[in-house]
Structure 1
Amino acid sequence: MNQFRPLAVLLGAASLALLSNPGMATLLPLKQIVAAIITPAPAPPPTPLPPLAPLPPLAPLPVLGTQSNLPPPAGALVAEQVIVAADGSAVRHYLLHTPAAATGQKLPLVLVFHGYSQNAQQMANSASGQVWRLMADNLVPDRLVMATTGPFYVAFLNGATPARLGSGTQAIGSWNDCDAERVNNLSTANDVAFAKAVVAQMGDKIDTSRVYAYGMSNGATMVLRLGREAGDVIAAIAAISGVDPQPVNDECVETADGVPARRPALIVHGTADAYVPYANSCATLPGLLATTCRLGHAETIAAWKSKSGPTLASDAAGRVPPKAIYPKAVSARPVSVAIDATSLSCVQHLSALAFDGPSPLVVGGQLVPATPSDVRIQDCVITGGGHLEPSVLTYAGVAVEATFGKQNNDVESAVLAWQFFRRHTK
């Protein structure tokens, strides 16, 4: 076709010359046709987001047994939605808690992910969800936090289950975590893009160096994915009762978006968890529809250590990073219920780079971080614990424990996560 190009150029030039002559009235219709062809059509207006369903009021923090005397959250909880371009312009929903003390300064943001077959509304109304909101408002007693908390924003994201369940902040959903077994998690939505879209929508309201992700169960495996694939956005994660899939069904991309290592992680797991087993497993588990293969807790910790930059196991003298054993707390268990028999201990895996040189910091024969950010991984084990978030303020109840295993009442999971988060910036 190249032999016709000079003729096409010549005809095009002649046509443009004729069309530019104001005296050629008979060519005006042709001139308009050509102008319509070469002038780009205006962009269509953006499709308006559908109206949000009204948000029912949240119940007060449920406390059984010993009363906590906590006030209700002071900040507002509002239903929000965002278009996720990477999902083909899918509309996704979340609940945003804006602290009462937000006065225009850029604040941290905590993304909270619910468990499998739950929703954002249920998570915001759970014990940990209420405590997240109270901490954001700086209303949690010092006896639990021992440090300044808020103000910060909390976004409770809602999972999706395409072609099966509805959308919205009250729709039951699940998360597309790293597990490639679609029969179980039901979702193929791009939830990494969803999390990033929420962060982007917050804009200049937030300190983008202090964006964190907290999740329980399926939400925990989702935040583990964020710690691997969204390191350009997330500063640190906290996973309660969640582990990585085994390599045979792990579809995650390691260290995406130019981030050289996984993000700092708090990983908490009960040794008697029947839903997400503490040990390596490849079985059909309660509530799932097909066989799934997961790493155990120890193997997940090992994987994070191997891909989080160099961590320190011990120094030349055999001294190890500190291990914290949490004392028994005054819990909300009624006196008629047996005392909590579980125990919680946490080991800090420190950045080896912090100990380059002859004089590592030692306290009581244990290595300690020189700065809070030196703690790359916090490995917490609940001996005898089941598939429940630990809580000092609330007791799940006998019936819930009969289904999900024993609940630890030595620490508040949201408080434990915030104490880890505030060490880290991106």
Structure 2
Amino acid sequence: MDYSTRKIILIVTVIIVIITITVAVFLLIIPIQAGTVYRDVPIEHSGRTRTYNYFVPANLPASPVPLVFTIHGGGINADQQFGLTGTKAPYKILLDIAEQEKFIVVAPDGTENPSDPNPEKLYWNDCRADMTLVNKSVDDVGFIETLITLFLHNFNIDPNRIYATGISNGGGMSLRLAIDLSHKIAAVAILSQGNANNSVCTGPVNPIPVLLMSGTADELNQWDGGYSEIESARGSTKSIPDTVAFWVNQNGADTVPEVTEIPNGPYNDHGTTVTLYDYDNGIQGTEVLLYKVNGGGHLEPSLTEQYSDTAEAFLGNQNHDIETAKEVWKFFKKHALNGPVSSVTLIGGNIVSVEDFCLLAPCIGVTLTIPVATVTTGIYVTRIWPRKKQ
């Protein structure tokens, strides 16, 4: 083989390699979500520099969009909540849902433990008076309220569709928001956390939809309440059944729930199962949902974000029958600040489902219309729910 021939073969080979590498790189850089994550954004509040992350989906609509706060647990931070640190994070799936459903997600950072400062391990000043891992003078409610005001100013946010969710200490903070900001928060979703036994919070002014999800084998925030078997400095909580009863009573909801056994998923989750209890028909369309994770520990259920054996050895079994973020958003999207959300959803291209059409006005003596001028010709299914009791 002469020099010229070898040179041609070499050039062709290099071109093929370059093309292959280019294609590979192109595939690797495709993001999971098309929107943008803004990280470690500083803001001054009450003499402290606080930080937060937020996610804005691509191509936001002209109409107002929901705002969801996802609040990290005690001892971690907003980066971990968003799944930016490489660890498993079931809540990061909320960003993919936000991209699809078009809402903004905010992950605020708590503050350091005053007796063991560490900028990577942050905590929230929730309702537990006997929790000693956080500076009790920190105004976390005011911080969240400031962020609400900021996002209402900077984005086209629907003020009636602002939500909060979190696990453990983040769930406790979400519970506090349900009490202290029930005039601004439309619904909350609480994981692995019950109401405080020794509470600095007095009780919500308004009814508010509440989702609770807890494992019966959780040793950090126990199903039966009391102090943690792992870390008593977290303070004492009420049992999950007592917490459910409180919110059912607060919302005037049905005391006998509808019970659903969630089908087992395809993954090994050490025999854990999920039972859903739905306490419906509350004031202004509120409800209380309880996802009882039978045999579950202090970990968010997930099909795709499965924690390591080491994490399960410390925090208990993780259930793999449901996707926490999907269940949370499915709950949130039904509720607005003053009642259920009215929605017109295209199904299969030309079938419309109308849900909770009564919404904010009595159904008697009021003419309600559906804008279907832009909907293509086809079969339409209308579902009108009864007016919720007042």
TM superposition score normalised by structure 2: 0.72
Residue type of the alignment partner of 1:161: E
Q: Is the 8 A contact 2:130 2:233 kept in 1?
A: no
Q: Supply the AA of the counterpart residue of 1:323.
A: V
Q: Which residue of 2 aligns with 1:228?
A: 179
Residue 190 (structure 1) aligns with:
139
Identity %: 27
- The residue that corresponds to 2:193 in the other structure is 242
1:312 to 254, 266, 276: 254
RMSD: 2.2
Conserved? CA contact 1:165–1:173, under 8 Å: no
* Larger Rg computed on CA atoms: 1
Give the AA of the match of 1:312.
Answer: D
In the alignment, the residues of structure 1 paired with residue 62 and residue 111 of structure 2 have an alpha-carbon distance, to the nearest angstrom, of 32
Residues 251 and 216 of structure 1, relative CA distance in 2, 3 Å threshold: same
> Kindly tell me: are residues 71 and 329 of structure 1, through their superposed partners in 2, closer, same or farther at Cα, counting changes over 3 Å?
farther
SS in 2 for 1:178: coil
- The amino acid of 2:329's aligned partner reads W
Number of the residue aligned with 2:43: 82
Offset, 1:287:
3.2
Equivalent residue of 2:144, what SS? helix
Asked whether the equivalents of residues 133 and 154 of structure 1 are also in contact (C-alpha less than 8 Å), the reply is yes
Check the 8 A contact 1:348/1:375 in 2, yes or no.
no
Distance 1:90 1:267, change over 3 A: same
User: For the structure 1 residues 102 and 118, does the alpha-carbon distance in structure 2 shift closer, same or farther, using more than 3 Å as the test?
Assistant: same
Match of 1:105 among 63, 66, 72: 63
1:218-240 deviation line (CA, Å, top 9, x unaligned): 10011011111101110000001
1:217–1:276 contact (8 Å) kept in structure 2:
yes
Q: Within the alignment, does 1:218 sit opposite 2:169 as a pair?
A: yes
> How far is the alpha carbon of 1:375 from its aligned partner?
4.8
SS class of match (1:418): helix
Structure 1 residue 137 corresponds to structure 2 residue 137: no
Distance apart, 1:330 and its partner CA: 2.8
8 A Cα contact 2:254 2:280, kept in partner: yes
**Residue 90 of structure 1: how far off its partner (Å):** 2.6
Q: CA deviation at 1:92?
A: 1.5
- In the other structure, the counterpart of 2:263 is 327
1:28 corresponding residue in structure 2:
none
Is the aligned partner of 1:395 residue 2:339?
no
Whether the 8 Å CA contact 1:123–1:156 is kept in 2: the answer is yes
**Structure with more relative contact order (C-alpha pairs < 8 Å, separation 6 or more):** 1
Q: Which of 289, 292, 297 is matched with 1:381 structurally?
A: 292
Could you tell me whether the CA contact under 8 Å between 2:165 and 2:189 is conserved in 1? yes
Amino acid at match of 2:250: K
What is the Cα deviation at residue 163 of structure 1? 4.8
* CA distance in 2 between partners of 1:131 and 1:159 (Å): 21
Provide, for residues 257-310 of structure 1, a one-character-per-residue CA deviation record: whole Å limited to 9, x for no partner.
Answer: xx333x2100011000000000032x35313447x32100001111112222x2
Counterpart Cα distance in 2 of 1:296 and 1:182 = 17
1:418 counterpart residue number: 329
| 1:274-285 to 2 correspondences below 5 Å | 274-281=219-226, 283=227, 285=229
TM-fit CA distance, 1:400: 1.1
Query: Residue 305 of structure 1 aligns to which amino acid in structure 2?
Result: V
Given that residues 180 and 251 in structure 1 are in contact (C-alpha distance below 8 angstroms), is that contact kept between their aligned partners in structure 2?
A: yes
Decide which of 87, 105, 111 is 1:160's aligned counterpart: 111
Q: CA deviation at 1:103?
A: 4.5
- Partners of 1:162 and 1:380 lie apart in 2 by 31
Which residue of 1 is the match for residue 237 of structure 2? 294
* Cα 1:251/1:287, change in 2 over 3 Å: same
- Give the superposition deviation at 1:104: 4.5
Change (3 A) 1:187 1:171: farther
Describe the SS at the equivalent of 1:214. strand
Structure 1 pair 280–339 and aligned structure 2 pair: CA distance change class (3 A)? closer
Determine helix, strand or coil for the equivalent of 2:287: strand
Q: What 5-or-longer segments of structure 1 have no aligned partner?
A: 1-69, 139-149, 315-320, 332-337, 354-372
Q: Alpha-carbon deviation of 1:165? A: 6.9
Match among 100, 123, 137 for residue 174 of structure 1: 123
| Partner Cα separation in structure 1 for residue 109 and residue 293 of structure 2 | 28
Which amino acid counterpart does residue 239 of structure 2 have in structure 1?
A: G
Distance in 2 (alpha carbons) for counterparts of 1:280 and 1:394: 27
Distance 2:49 2:63 in 1: 28
CA distance in 1, matches of 2:236, 2:114: 25
Q: Using a 3 Å threshold, how does the CA distance of structure 1 residues 395 and 301 change in structure 2: closer, same or farther?
A: same
Q: Is the 8 A contact 2:159 2:184 kept in 1?
A: yes
Range with bigger deviation, 178-187 or 220-229: 178-187
Q: State whether structure 2 residue 158 is matched by structure 1 residue 207.
A: yes
| Residue 412 of structure 1: how far off its partner (Å) | 0.7
Whichever residue aligns with residue 64 of structure 2, its letter is K
Contact preservation (8 Å) 1:75, 1:97:
yes
Displacement, 1:161? 2.2
Aligned residues: 301
Which among 276, 281, 300 is matched to residue 346 of structure 1?
276
Superposition deviation, residue 81 in structure 1: 2.7
Match of 2:370 in 1: none
Give, in angstroms, the shift of residue 197 of structure 1.
0.8
Is contact 1:114-1:218 (8 Å) kept?
yes
**CA–CA distance in structure 2, aligned partners of residues 73 and 254 of structure 1:** 38
The DSSP-based 3-state class of the residue aligned with 1:328 is coil
Unaligned runs of at least 5 residues, structure 2: 1-29, 338-390
1:115 aligned residue (64, 69, 73): 73
- Match of 1:201, SS state, is helix
Instruction: Please give the alpha-carbon distance, in whole angstroms, between the structure 1 residues aligned to 2:114 and 2:48.
Output: 13
